[in-house]
Amino acid sequence: MSAKGLPYVSERGGQTLLLLYVQPKAARSEFCGMFQERLKIRVNAPPVEGEANRECVAFLAKALDVSKSEVRLVRGAQSRQKDFLVERPPAYVLERLGMAGVS
């Protein structure tokens, strides 16, 4: 899988920038397609006191098989549109997203 045609994945200094649209207070945390050229995820945490942001980090870390410290929110702390920097190259992230059923 390549980043070509996937507007939500880009490279930044050898790391991967993921553009997400986050829906809080879902029944469970999961990937659920695209929305506004961003990868949409649902998280089961409410958008209160950073809980949804922490759940996003934990969910991404588990899905990408990286530590939580390798996933960093860089933009959108109080927005549904969030940008995360993953300290792995895009090829690795794309492979792991494919394994998680994201296309």
Q: Which of 41, 1, 49 is nearest to 18 (CA)?
A: 41
Confidence class of residue 29 from pLDDT cuts 50, 70 and 90? very high
Map residue 81 onto helix, strand or coil.
strand
What does pTM read for this prediction? 0.92
Is position 74 within any domain?
yes
Is position 1 within any domain?
no
Cα–Cα distance measured from residue 48 to residue 32, given in angstroms and rounded to the nearest whole number = 22
Tell me which amino acid residue 95 is. Answer: E
- Asked if pLDDT for residue 1 goes beyond 90, the answer is no
Is position 2 within any domain?
no
Is position 95 within any domain?
yes
Q: What is the pLDDT of residue 55?
A: 97
CATH number assigned to the domain comprising residue 73: 3.30.1200.10
Tell me which amino acid residue 72 is. Answer: R
Q: What is the pLDDT of residue 4?
A: 58
- Residue labelled with tokens 């993921």: 18
* Residue 45, phi-psi category: left (phi > 0), alpha (psi -120 to 50), beta (remainder): beta
Question: How many Å from the N-terminal Cα to the C-terminal Cα in the chain?
Answer: 8
Phi and psi angles of residue 88, each rounded to the nearest 5 degrees, phi first:
-145, 155
- Asked if pLDDT for residue 3 goes beyond 80, the answer is no
The domain in which residue 88 lies consists of: 9-99
How much is the average pLDDT of 46-59? 96
Q: What is the pLDDT of residue 74?
A: 98
Is position 63 within any domain?
yes
